[in-house]
Amino acid sequence: MTTPDSTLIPGTFEMLILKALSLGPIHGWGVAERIERLSDGVCEIQQGAVYPALQRLLLKGWVIASWRESDNGRRARYYRLTASGRAHLQQELTWWRRAIGGVDRVLRSTTEES
């Protein structure tokens, strides 16, 4: 079973895919490429892992796929965020910022407050 690279916090992979798709419809390779490029290579993933993840998102109805011609003239399966996918991404982001903020505060604390 391919899993996201262990450098990723569990549960964030699908959020990253949704975020990548929120920038515009793209095919599977484009999703992987966007995540790598936008994280400046920090989030290095096994590229194949996007396909099972995309399949799960399809089943949840957050993403829909359609075949069309890509930039290089070949037929490619493009994934697009649905309205409910966009809403879900918003929820995830809100949760993520709170969680990160919490973790960050813990890590930056210097004294034990009473």
Partner 1 sequence: MGWWHGLRERMSAWTRPAARDRDLDTEIAHHLDLEADRLQRAGLTPNEARRQALERFGDRADVVESTRAARRRPGTEGIVQDVAYAIRMLRKQYAFSGLAVATLALGIGATTAAFAVVNTVLLRPLPYRDADRLVFLREVTATHSLNPPSHPNVVDWRDRAQSFDGVVSAMFPSAATVRSAPSADPLRLTVMGVSRGFFRTLGVTPEQGREFTDEENTLGGARVVMVSDEFWRTQMGGRLPLGDVIVNGTAKAVIGVVPPDFSFATPAGLNRLSSSADPVMIYLPHEQAPGTCRTCRNYMVVARLKPDVTIERARAEMTALTAAMRAQYGTDITAVDVDVRDLRDYVAGDHRTLLMVVLGAAALVLLMACTNLVSAQLARGWTREPEVLIRTALGASRGRVIRQLMIENGVIVFVGAAAGLALAAGLTRIVTAVGFNQLPRLAELSIDGRIVAFTIAVSAATLLAVGIYPAWRLSRADAAGALRSTRGTGGSVRAAAWRVLLGFEIALALALSVGSALLVRTMANIMTADTGFESHRLLTASITPSERDVAHLDDARVDLAALPGVEDVAYTTRLPLSWGSNAGPVRRRTDPPGPDWPAFAGFRMVSPGYFDVLKQHVLQGRAFTSADGEHGEPVAIITPGIAATLWPGQNPIGQTIGTNYLFDEWLTVVGVVAEASIWSQPKGTQNEIYVPYAQHLHALPGQTQLIAMIRAAMGPDALTEPVRQSLRRTLPDSPALIRPMDARIEQSAASRRFVMVALTTFAGVAIVLAAIGIYGVLWYMVTTRSREIGIRLALGATPGVVQRRVLGGAVLIAIGGCAVGALAAMVASRFLEAQLYEVTPHDLRTYLASAGVIVLAVLAGAWLPAWRASRVDPLETMRAEVS
Q: How far is the CB of 27 from partner 1 (least distance, A)?
A: 7
CA pair distance 80, 27, nearest whole angstrom = 9
Stretch that binds partner 1, among 6-14, 18-26, 76-84, 97-105 (CB under 8 A): 76-84
Q: Read out DSSP for 9-45? A: PTT-HHHHHHHHHHT--EEHHHHHHHHHHHTTTSS--
Burial of 45 (0-12, 13-18, 19+ CB in 10 A): buried
Q: How far is the CB of 67 from partner 1 (least distance, A)?
A: 8
Using CB under 8 A, which of 22, 39, 42, 61 touches partner 1? Answer: 61
What does the binding site for partner 1 look like in residue numbers (CB under 8 A)?
1-2, 27-29, 32-33, 46-49, 51-53, 55-56, 58-62, 64, 70, 72, 74-77, 82-85
